Amino acid sequence: MGLREQKDAASREFQVPTKKQKKLKPPGPHMQWHVSDSPADPPCPQQQVDQRVNRAMRTRSRRLWFFSPGIQVTSSPHLPPLSSDRARMAMSRAAAAAAAAGTPVARRRLMGAVAARSMASWFGHVEPAAKDPILGVTEAFLADPSPDKVNVGVGAYRDDSGKPVVLECVREAERRIAGSMNMEYLPMGGSIKMIEESLKLAYGENCEFIKDKRIAAVQALSGTGACRLFADFQKRFLPDSQIYIPTPTWANHHNIWRDAQVPQKTFTYYHPESRGLDFAGLMNDIKNAPDGSFFLLHACAHNPTGVDPSEEQWREISHQFKVKKHFPFFDMAYQGFASGDPERDAKAIRIFLEDGHQIGCAQSYAKNMGLYGQRAGCLSILCDDEMQAVAVKSQLQQIARPMYSNPPVHGALIVSTILGDPELKSLWLKEVKGMADRIIGMRTALKENLEKLGSPMSWEHITNQIGMFCYSGMTPEQVDRLTKEFHIYMTRNGRISMAGVTTGNVAYLANAIHEVTKTK
């Protein structure tokens, strides 16, 4: 008898359940069952159990649907899944019809057996996800027992002894808010105070657009969350648009806009031969993109290359955006961390504002305040007027509502306390400059050590680049050798996190790089 005939037979054989029977619920999907003989009988082999279940499916006898009196239900995860989705569906429907007409005990026996078979295959098709190319580096590093191992893969700041850092301004802010905060929900848009301070940091203390209330802004889950909110907003209100993303870029950018179902294209950015900016290629792609395109731009300290346009180049880019009516969306994850001066690091945004662009901006406090796990960030969009800004903000909040409802409060309090207090802000500016200066010093030390070893390559790009990362130019094969022979861990694109370089390991790192690059 085919599956359809089995279902039809079950439907004809059993009556519609009564109101009382409808109230009786089958076991929930979290329960797993198998059918076995009663304790008085010898154990029933699994094959016999399957035969009885299958026989119950085939028969038109109500008595056999509920098995023989000697069968009872016990907990077990061992029933194998059905061979096909169609079989499982037919069995479930037939069992439901059968159980509706039977006694509660019989109903539990049959529905439990069917649930076990159904549930066993619900997620059987799920394959393991590919490892994150960045976070996987740390996993491999932690598993390596070598005392010489060095991790220059993950973008998290370390002091000169290789230890994680909590800034003193952060510690002081936490001392001030300790005991004074509650655990109530923030509004969907987040902390108003944090948003106000974030806008002043990104757009300038005396920005006219802030005064005119033309900026729609919400607290976001760091830079990733800000980018994702904007991507969803773009898809919802400009569904036919696409986003141009630089080549290369932070890998998660592609994931964010892909999952928001926004089509992506790439534009030229990095020049591998010079290990610098391919400005001609970049400008050509901007000119050839359809009018009114969205472009993702790194405001400063481009990740992964560390290559930023000069101020004059930013002005040319802004002019061409104006001609083509493109929309610039800035990801600003390193304000203050690149040069040590937050105002200088926001120069690209200020240039675009001066030229009359509407812009979007994602801010993160992970790097420049060390609030990696607090997920503190901000998304802002410059609008035509206050009314438009109110509408845009309301829609951003609506997007956030089913995603995470409202953002976390603790990181927002830290940020607003630091930026809103002149004393703490001054301390932060000093500390963020100290972090930037240490990284700049490590760039110089790495370059000098490579040159002392007589490397045949030019390493000028190490000090020409800026920010946390150095795009070394090493091949994946050379990176693999670094890991295998020297226990040095980095992403296979050759990106070095300069935050992981210290006075204690820079000579070892330089020697290892020299060994794998001295011959082609």
Instruction: Report the interhelical angle of 222-237 vs 251-259 (nearest 10°).
Output: 40
- Exactly one of 331, 345, 447, 459 is catalytic; which is it? 331
44 against 67, higher pLDDT: 44
Torsion sign (Cα): 249, 255, 259, 264: positive
pLDDT surpassing 90 at residue 89:
no
What pLDDT is recorded for position 477?
96
Catalytic residue at 159?
Answer: no
Segment 440-458 shows an average pLDDT of 95
Positive or negative, the CA dihedral 445, 451, 456, 461 is: positive
pLDDT for residue 69: 40
Instruction: Reply yes or no on whether 250 is catalytic.
Output: yes
DSSP string, 317-386: HHHHHHHHT-EEEEEES-TTTTTS-HHHHTHHHHHHHHTT---EEEEE-TTTS--GGGTEEEEEEE-SSH
For the residues 208-212, what does the mean pLDDT come to?
97
The one catalytic residue in 7, 33, 232, 250 is 250
Taking residues 60-67, report their average pLDDT. 37
Q: Is the dihedral of CA 386, 391, 393, 394 positive or negative?
A: positive
Q: What's the pLDDT score for residue 84?
A: 45
Cβ–Cβ < 8 Å for 114, 73: no
Q: Is the pLDDT of residue 281 over 50?
A: yes
Predicted pLDDT at 28? 46
The percentage of the chain sitting over the pLDDT mark of 90, rounded to a whole number, equals 70
Q: Please check the confidence at residue 51 and state whether its pLDDT lies above 90.
A: no
**7 flagged as catalytic:** no
Q: Is the pLDDT of residue 179 over 70?
A: yes
Q: Angle at CA 160, nearest 5°, toward 155 and 165?
A: 60
Domains detected in the chain: 3-119 (no CATH), 135-164+433-517 (3.90.1150.10), 188-427 (3.40.640.10)
How far is residue 112's CA from residue 119's CA, in Å, rounded to a whole number? Answer: 10
Tokens 């079950």 label which residue? 10
Q: What is the distance between the alpha carbons of residues 137 and 322, in angstroms, rounded to a whole number?
A: 41
Strands 243-247 and 294-298: parallel
Q: How confident is the model at residue 136 (pLDDT cuts 50, 70, 90)?
A: confident
Give percent of the chain above pLDDT 70.
77
pLDDT band at 243 (very low <50, low <70, confident <90, very high): very high
Q: Report whether pLDDT(106) > 60.
A: no
Residue 250 has pLDDT above 90, yes or no: yes
Q: In Å, what is the CA distance from 63 to each residue of 20, 66, 73, 376?
A: 21, 6, 17, 63
Q: Residue 401 and residue 232: Cα distance in Å, rounded?
A: 12
- Output the average pLDDT for the chain: 85
Is the pLDDT assigned to residue 468 strictly greater than 70? yes
Give the separation between CA 280 and CA 272, rounded to whole angstroms.
14
Q: Is the pLDDT confidence value at 472 over 60?
A: yes
Whether residue 355 contacts residue 382, with contact meaning beta carbons closer than 8 Å, is answered with no
Query: What's the whole-number mean pLDDT along residues 230-242?
Result: 98
Q: Which of 7, 235, 367, 393 is catalytic?
A: 367
Highest mean predicted confidence (pLDDT) among 6-20, 127-141, 368-382: 368-382
For the cut 90, the answer to whether the pLDDT of residue 52 exceeds it is no
pLDDT digits (tens, 9 = 90+) for 359-374: 999 999 999 999 999 9
Would the pLDDT of 29 be above 50? no
Residue 267 in contact with residue 245, Cβ under 8 Å? yes
Q: What is the pLDDT of residue 133?
A: 77
Choose between 69 and 110: higher pLDDT: 110
- pLDDT tens by residue, 33-46: 343 444 444 445 55
Q: Kindly indicate the confidence band of residue 132, based on its pLDDT and cuts at 50, 70 and 90.
A: confident
Q: How far is CA 213 from CA 62, 190, 196, 353, 505, in A?
A: 73, 17, 11, 15, 50
> Residue 180's pLDDT is what?
80
How many alpha carbons lie under 13 Å from residue 228 in its C-beta half-sphere? Answer: 16
**Which range (28-42, 184-198, 490-504) has the least confidence?**
28-42
